[in-house]
């Protein structure tokens, strides 16, 4: 009898101490987010380096969230693919082993095909139109609303920007110049097919492998916005940059749905507001620096080639049939509505 009582007492003591330990370390099941004190942790990873406006935007997001939640949510930031590439990080969000990432829309199309509407070459004519469509249109908002089905929540659109082409072989100014160029594309089917149609020899690759691939000459070139080309020092391994502006790449701030669901309504509102504010900040930095970066690239020895409207029209005419091929996958209605939103925004 007393023995039984003793073991019951021991079990109770054990349970109490386990509970106490959990209490002091603040261990909560927060979608894989480790804890520090009582805070819930957002581990946020991006592909670009710590000089890029995307990272500076992420730091702004951290500042706002930590301040407005009074430290209840903490944001740990990782750059340069330290947590993996865009695709791997999205998968980690689905599992809840990572809480936040900010990919380009192109790799999102591997999860939600409709996102390829943003991969259509020359869809957005200007930054102003891109802003209006991404920040105000119903179609852009509805695309964000498709994310929860994939275990992710889209907090806001940010800007990667208009993509330009760099390579080591030729100063590309016309369609004919793409011939046989080995171009790395993002892991996105439409991008791959579009570059094939232009005569290039494209190969999809994760962003983190890109610099070495150019350095070793396994590929001739790549395409990314000027900020990436300059801040990732591609001028060290590339000779020519052509201002093709062939696609406008948005970023999407993604949160793991597991973390989202564990947040209060008030916290969710703060997360969305912080993502929007930090996005405005990052977008502004991205644009302010562009012309300086182009001048710097030229000074570092790269040739900078402008593309005439005629050459751009020709590129568009060649890639249009590719878009047609993808229209069922993307959804004709999605494409039409995006085109309408672009038209409206341009008025």
Residues that bind ligand TK8 (CB under 6 A): 46-48, 86, 103-104, 160, 186, 207, 224, 228, 249
C-beta nearest to ligand TK8: residue: 47
Shortest gap between Cβ of 104 and ligand TK8 (angstroms)?
4
Residue partners of 326: CB distance under 8 A and separation at least 6: 116, 189, 190, 193
Shortest gap between Cβ of 85 and ligand TK8 (angstroms)?
7
Shortest gap between Cβ of 202 and ligand TK8 (angstroms)?
13
Shortest gap between Cβ of 154 and ligand TK8 (angstroms)?
15
DSSP assignment letter at 254: E
What secondary structure does DSSP assign to 186-228, as a single string?
-S-HHHHHHHHHTT-EEEE--GGGHHHHHHTTSSSEEEE-HHH
Q: What are 208's two structure tokens?
A: 């983190």
For ligand TK8, the closer CB: 57 or 103: 103
For ligand TK8, the closer CB: 69 or 228: 228
In angstroms, rounded to a whole number, what is the distance separating the alpha carbons of residues 316 and 336?
17
For ligand TK8, the closer CB: 47 or 121: 47
For ligand TK8, the closer CB: 140 or 186: 186
The answer to whether residues 116 and 331 touch, using CB atoms and an 8 Å cutoff, is no
Shortest gap between Cβ of 118 and ligand TK8 (angstroms)?
12
For ligand TK8, the closer CB: 224 or 242: 224
Q: In the chain, which ranges are E strands?
A: 35-36, 39-45, 73-78, 100-101, 152-162, 164-167, 182-185, 201-204, 221-224, 240-242, 248-256, 303-305
In angstroms, rounded to a whole number, what is the distance separating the alpha carbons of residues 231 and 297?
10
Integer angstrom CA distances of residue 96 from 90, 92, 152:
10, 6, 10
Shortest gap between Cβ of 206 and ligand TK8 (angstroms)?
7
Shortest gap between Cβ of 20 and ligand TK8 (angstroms)?
42
Q: Is 217 exposed, middle or buried (0-12, 13-18, 19+ CB in 10 A)?
A: exposed
For ligand TK8, the closer CB: 46 or 192: 46
For ligand TK8, the closer CB: 78 or 178: 78
């Amino acid at each position: 009898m007393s023995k039984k009582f003793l073991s019951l007492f021991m079990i109770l003591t054990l349970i109490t101490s386990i509970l106490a330990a959990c209490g002091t370390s603040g261990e909560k099941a927060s979608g894989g987010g480790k804890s520090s004190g009582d805070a819930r942790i957002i581990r946020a990873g991006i592909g670009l380096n710590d000089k890029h406006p995307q990272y500076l935007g992420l730091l702004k997001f951290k500042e706002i969230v930590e301040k407005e939640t009074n430290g209840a949510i903490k944001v740990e930031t990782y750059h340069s693919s330290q947590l993996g590439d865009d695709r791997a990080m999205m998968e980690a969000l689905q599992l809840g082993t990572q809480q936040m990432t900010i990919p380009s829309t192109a790799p999102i199309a591997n999860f939600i095909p409709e996102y390829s509407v943003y991969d259509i070459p020359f869809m957005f004519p200007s930054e102003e139109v891109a802003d209006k469509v991404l920040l105000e249109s119903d179609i852009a908002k509805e695309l964000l609303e498709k994310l929860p089905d994939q275990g992710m929540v889209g907090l806001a659109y940010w800007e990667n920007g208009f993509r330009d082409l760099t390579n080591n072989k030729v100063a590309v100014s016309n369609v004919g110049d793409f011939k046989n160029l080995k171009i790395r594309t993002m892991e996105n089917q439409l991008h791959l097919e579009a570059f094939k149609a232009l005569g290039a020899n494209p190969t999809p690759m994760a962003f983190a492998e890109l610099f070495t691939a150019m350095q070793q000459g396994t590929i001739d070139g790549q395409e990314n916005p000027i900020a990436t080309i300059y801040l990732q020092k591609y001028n060290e391994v590339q000779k020519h940059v052509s201002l093709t502006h062939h696609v406008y790449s948005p970023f999407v701030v993604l949160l793991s749905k597991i973390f989202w669901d564990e947040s209060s309504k008030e916290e969710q509102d703060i997360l969305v507001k912080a993502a929007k504010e930090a996005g405005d900040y990052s977008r502004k930095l991205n644009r302010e620096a562009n012309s300086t970066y182009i001048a710097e690239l030229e000074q570092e020895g790269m040739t900078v080639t402008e593309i005439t409207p005629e050459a751009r029209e020709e590129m568009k005419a060649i890639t249009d049939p590719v878009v047609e091929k993808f229209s069922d996958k993307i959804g004709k209605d999605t494409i039409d509505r995006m085109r309408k939103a672009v038209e409206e925004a341009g008025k």
